[in-house]
Structure 1
Amino acid sequence: MTNRGDIARTSIVTISSALYKLIRNEISQPDFYLGPSLGQVNAIHCSGSLDFTDTVKMIQAMCLMEAEEKRNKGNGVYFFYNIDTEVLDDHITELRNKGCTLEPCMYGTSNQMIVNGDTKSLEELSSKISPLGGLGITIPYGPPGHCSLLQSVKERFENEFMPMIKPVNPIKPLVSNVTATPLYTGKEIANELVNQYTKPVQWYQSLKFLAENNVQKLIVVGPGNFVAKSLQFTDIDFEVESYLVAEEINKICTRSSSSSIGG
């Protein structure tokens, strides 16, 4: 039951938002907000663009519409790593030309990618890149995301849900999952929420944008360690500070209390 999208995704954002609220007065004001996929929804909330109530309602609406999408049935996602993403893209194109159902979901690093498709196509892609040293593993309970399979969901979400909310300008720019460029206005963020449905997440390009803009330190907030671990394999040298569990939050709160007492 806990693996059901509406429960898991709302829980992740709730926990991430709570963690950020605990540490936001103890860290420097971020220059940018960003996150991959669901992390982007949380980043939008933390940036002040969307309040918590609307954020949770939006996630629930997304989960409901995606669950009702018939094209999702029988499709899933694989995480591919240790393979150059350009090489992986070439194999995806080759197999699609042969009738396979495959589309990039997220470009994680220069050698990591999440790919959508049906089980047979994903297994065939995995066998293609295996002799090159690449590995592909299934992501349990992972429905397709950020691809053309969700075109009808995108249209429903835009027409049925988006008129119910109005994102405001963020405190600091949000880096787009779709274009890896900064978003400054509520209108741009509203467009981001709609367009991300059918476009792959440009996480690696977003990281390169940060590096090009002299960002040296990333603060990762939220349960799970996918983002924190993937950053260990990127070729961009960031300082990474993670707040993923209560123990890590307690450390920063203890430091803060000690400083106050000492002062």
Structure 2
Amino acid sequence: MTEKTPNAILLNPQVVVEPGDYRDLYDARPDVRRAFGEASEVLGTDLAADFFAESRDRINSGRVVRPASLAIATALYRAVAARREPPAYIAGLSLGSIIAGHLGGHMSFRDAVRMTHLMPVIEDEEFAGTGLGVAFYYGVDMERFGEALREETAAGRVLSPCAYTAADQMILTGELSALKAMNLRAPSCGGVGLVIPYGPPAHSPLPVLRRVEERFRREWRYLDPPRDPDVPLICNVTARPLRTAAEVTESFITQYGRTVLWDQSVRRLAGLGVRAVTVIGPGHFVLKSLRSTAVSFEVESFLGDGGPLPEPPGEEGR
């Protein structure tokens, strides 16, 4: 009997959404509308009305785009899962790690919606007036870029690694003026830097992130008992598999103050024998990062933006 090759599900981080994005998906798929309806009941507001508003600012508020991304990913995952064997592992980058916590069986959809809403509520309060943001750098020589980063921080600029996303990609958290300075230095390191619109500060030992981490630890409570995940989660800040409820919960809290090691997490999956991955949307960030990793996977994607989609499950798959 041939042993099956382990596969994994990968989830995207928060992405910028333009007015009208994913509207066709919502209109065409009853499973997506159901997921939005379930999330709206938890939030006590019409999530679809907010997410499909005309205002770009309203759509990309963390309190809207994060639970909406959860709803879309959950519906697509349910459709995939209804017709396949369970994945061997599941992993997500930043917001994707929270979504992975639900899809992997650690927490209920209700609690995942609550978590994706509480986090930006706390962040909005703590980040107000700090002048902090995030920027994405790609195509850079990491050794030269790291040296540039050390020079800027030595000069007193507020900068910190947020995420290592691929062999030539990373995200920085810092003051906007400092990020713009790094953007100017990126070409000399072979790449490009861009401040991420609507991107909140994240995944950094900067004091404000430590405050957010402490508040989230104090204020977060599950309504439904958390469980050991059915599918091991690859922790996006340690790159190791998480198999207990306590480990997963702690990873959600401590990822605020630690740099995300996404590139290392992807390579860990390869080391665990994974050769095929399915990326579930919304967003293209993970797909782009996979193109610059040191390992090669068979990649399938369901991003919800007009590309191939799994068939909605029948009533038996609800």
Same fold per TM (> 0.5)?
Answer: yes
The 1:194/1:16 distance shift into structure 2, 3 A limit, reads same
Given the alignment, which residue of 206, 211, 215 partners 1:156? 215
- Structure 1 segments unaligned to the other structure (5+ residues): 258-263
TM-fit CA distance, 1:170: 0.5
Alignment correspondent of 1:54: 111
Q: Pick from 164, 167, 184: which aligns with 1:107?
A: 164
Contact 2:141 2:189 in 1 (8 A): no
Q: Does structure 1 retain, via aligned residues, the 8 Å contact 2:108–2:224?
A: no
Residue in structure 2 matched with residue 128 of structure 1 by the alignment:
185
Alpha-carbon distance change, 44 to 239 in structure 1, aligned in 2, over 3 angstroms: same
Long gaps (5+) in structure 2: 1-57
How well do the aligned residues superpose, as a CA RMSD in angstroms? 2.0
Give, in whole Å, the separation in 2 of the partners of 1:132 and 1:204: 19
Give the partner amino acid of 1:127.
Answer: L
Higher RCO (C-alpha 8 Å, min separation 6): 2
- Secondary structure of 2:164's aligned partner: strand
**2:240 maps to which residue?**
181
Number of aligned pairs? 255
* Aligned residue among 139, 143, 164 for 1:82: 139
Partner Cα distance (2:141, 2:215) in 1: 35
Once the two structures are superposed, the pairs formed by residues 232-247 of structure 1 within 5 Å of their partners are: 232-245=291-304
Distance 1:211 1:18 in 2: 27
Deviation digits for residues 137-164 of structure 1, max 9, x if unmatched? 1111111111123111110100111466
Tell me which residue corresponds to 1:7: 64
Amino acid at match of 1:183: L
1:219 aligns with 2:278: yes
Checking the alignment, whether the CA contact within 8 Å between 1:72 and 1:144 is kept in structure 2 is: no
Query: Distance in 1 between the 2:220 and 2:260 partners?
Result: 22
Cα distance in 2, alignment partners of residues 145 and 72 from structure 1: 16
Asked if the contact 1:218–1:238 (Cα under 8 Å) also holds between the matched residues in 2, the reply is yes
Structure 1 partner of 2:33: none
TM-score by length of 2: 0.76
* Equivalent residues of 1:19, 1:249 under 8 A apart: no
Is contact 1:176–1:206 with CA below 8 Å preserved after alignment?
yes
Asked whether the 8 Å contact 1:166–1:186 carries over to 2, the reply is no
